[in-house]
Chains A and B, each alone.
Chain A
Amino acid sequence: MTITVPVTPVARARERLLPAYFLAGVLFGIVLTKGELASWFRIQEALRFDGLYLYQVFASALAVAIPLFWMLERRRVRSLVGEPIVIAPKPLGRGRRYVIGGTIFGLGWGVTGACPGPLFALLGAGVGVIAVLILGATAGTWVYGYLRPTLPH
């Protein structure tokens, strides 16, 4: 399959930014591990209501991100590529996909104690068997894609 995409200046700028995304990923991976968000113990502590750590992390992350996001959008700041920063609203529809999908994901999160970001961080931390978990998640996504036309959204 070949798709010819015209090489526009924006497309070229996008490719130049790949190292920046890589570095952002490295920083995110360090935050997930040193901040123990990739810790099975910390996730279970939160989901079993035995401690506040995860809730404090989420609350303080949002306390920082909510005003910054609001400012970026309101002041129509442009990204390094030159595009205006816009966060497209997630279509709500009847909301069923968020309830059902969120519930299915939550069941997997509760038993494994890991969500997608930490999965990649744990792989880097040397927990080899996580590769099987990532394969399982990819298979789960594939089956969702296959069944998608028949599922309520």
Chain B
Amino acid sequence: MLEWLHRPWPWYVTGPLLGLVATGLLMIGNKQLGVSGNFRHLCAAVFPRNVAFFKYDWTRSGLWNLVFAGGIVVGGFIGGALLASREPVAITARAHADLASLGVHDFTGLVPRQLFHWSALLTLKGLLLIAGGGFLIGFGTAYAGGCTSGHGITGLADLQLASLIAVVAFFAAGALASHFLLPLLLSG
């Protein structure tokens, strides 16, 4: 009966809601939608050492963002576990064939279980993909001062050239990595 709650949303629902979340944060407290700043706040809170980049009052500028990230975890539980889609992801036939040729055959859930599993950490390629990929994400977003939400939504919505440069760079590099690095990491 509540089957429709489990269905994934179409792009014309997802996109506008994303725009409204970004607008809502501005209206609540003049906050800009962004998530990658949390890695910096975590460093500042836990292990600032003597690094200038982490010497700031994170409770003042970062607490709202960490609370926001905590909300994302809960929202992820609601949307990705409680109301998880029961069907395999409805990607295009071309994407399906493309990923199958890389050895991905389970299309249920949000991520391929074969890749995102604790046992993956025991192989060099799995460890590189997960820990190495994470390292690049954290290093790159801190360097660029934002990620897909901070630059891709907030910065572009404010028509900032810096964000456009960052977005073009990470889409181009993302396409390269998906085409050339991912197959290497997925091969036996």
A contact set with B: CB distance below 8 Å: 3, 5, 14, 17-18, 20-45, 47-51, 53, 56-66, 68-69, 72, 77, 79-81, 83-87, 89-92, 95, 97-117, 119-130, 132-146, 148-149, 151
Contact = CB atoms under 8 A, between A and B. Distances in A.
Contacts of A38: 76, 80, 110
A141 B182 CA distance: 23
The 4 closest A-B pairs by CB, nearest first: A29-B75, A25-B71, A136-B134, A110-B177
A45 B135 CA distance: 23
A95 to B, nearest CB: 5
6 contacts: A26-B71, A29-B78, A44-B95, A68-B19, A106-B171, A111-B182
Contacts, number: 529
Given A62-B153, A87-B158, A51 B144 contact: no
The size bracket of the interface on B is 35 or more
A146 B51 contact: yes
Contacts of A102: 140, 144, 151, 165-170, 173
Interface of B: 8-9, 11-33, 35-36, 38-40, 42-43, 47, 51-54, 57, 60, 63-65, 67-81, 83-85, 89, 91-92, 94-95, 98-99, 107, 110-112, 115-118, 120-121, 129-149, 151-163, 165-179, 181-182, 185
